Amino acid sequence: MTAPLKHSDPVNVGVALGDRAYDIVIGRGVLASLGERVAALRPGVRTAIVTDRTVAKHWLEPTEASLAAAGIPTSRIVVQEGEISKTYAGLEKVSEALIAAKIERNDLVVALGGGVVGDLAGFAAAIVRRGVDFVQVPTSLLAQVDSSVGGKTGINSPQGKNLLGAFHQPVLVIADTAVLDTLSPRQFRAGYAEVAKYGVLGDEAFFTWLEKNHLEILKGGSAREHAIATSCRAKAGIVSRDERETGERALLNLGHTFGHALEAATGFSDRLFHGEGVAIGMTLAAQFSAKLGMIGDADAARVERHLIEAGLPTRLQDIAGFAQEGLADADALMTLMAQDKKVQRGRLTFILLEAVGRAVIAKDVEPAPVRDFLKDKLAQKA
């Protein structure tokens, strides 16, 4: 554990990928340095900013101003906010706009937004002209600690979350913690689920620190930068060792097998934000681990208690419209989980816990115990 950062001290976290290595720059106000950093990285570059309507109101003009101050010409592509843009239609819109803007292979796409924009813009960059480099400028907590780092890009299929995509690493990540001030409390809490995930899956000391400091993180104190930097270091280390998720990187999916199924069941709508699905999924993964005798009930309760204290949902019954659209049907949820990217030859893979701070990859999980477990959870009273 490092000492908490001061607001005035930006920090660089390196993602070690050989000649494709890049920096994650974390700090309050670092967005203003975007143009200078891009100019140093790619002299003579042209850029296209992909963002959504909500982010554009707050951060599009400052981003353009930073690039303009460095003499970098840019164009803008604005999409609808939310998962509705992470579709075939959304991908077509962004890809065609990049081509129309004459973005070439030696230019850069700038993904200015949360996880949806980062995934969508990154995937479009991966396929336009068979690959254009891009910069991540994440504007949500979830994107700053998770989706902007590691090169996973993609869109949703009607059959499941993130089923179409490509590994395409950014060349730079600018995580300005000041932009988080414009998030709603619900959006910020949803991102916090991914911060807690890093402690639960691999760093019990960090999880203990979060239990003591989560209120300062939520309020925007210096603990916020420390939490983001610690999360990014954890993910950068895993990505550098297993870029394409052939082993260890799968641990980062803790809570996602359950969570993605719940997102699909709610139609990828604002009834359940991604981080909220992860919080419920992480709780279910801990409880299922306890049911299998891998951890004690007290450990599972500890995970759930912290997420509740952070203001996150932890039960299926916490989802708006519970009992609608397959949410209260264990078989329907099992069908959605069968589309999870970690499924191999039809067999489920879960990320489970041997302790708080020690996750493991559990392959070939039999469906019957999972179905019974879900039925028990669905039978609980709201």
Per the annotation, where are the binding residues for NAD(+)?
Answer: 81-86, 115-119, 139-140, 152, 161
Output the known binding site for Zn(2+): 194, 256, 274
CA angle 86, 91, 93 (to 5 degrees): 120
Neighbour count for residue 273 (Cβ, 10 Å): 26
What separation in angstroms does the CA of 66 have from each of 77, 114, 285? Answer: 17, 19, 43
Burial class of 159 by CB neighbour count within 10 A (0 to 12, 13 to 18, 19+): exposed
Strand partners, 176: 27
Query: Helices marked H in the chain — which ranges?
Result: 34-41, 53-55, 61-69, 88-100, 115-127, 141-142, 185-202, 204-219, 222-241, 256-265, 274-291, 297-309, 330-337, 367-378
CB 117 within 8 A of CB 137: no
Q: Which residues have a catalytic role annotated?
A: 130, 152, 194, 235, 245, 249, 253, 256, 260, 274
CB 218 within 8 A of CB 189: yes
Q: How far apart are CA 354 and CA 82, in angstroms?
A: 35
Query: Helices marked H in 152-255 — which ranges?
Result: 185-202, 204-219, 222-241
What separation in angstroms does the CA of 156 have from each of 268, 279, 284, 339, 364? Answer: 9, 20, 23, 12, 25
CA angle 187, 190, 192 (to 5 degrees): 115
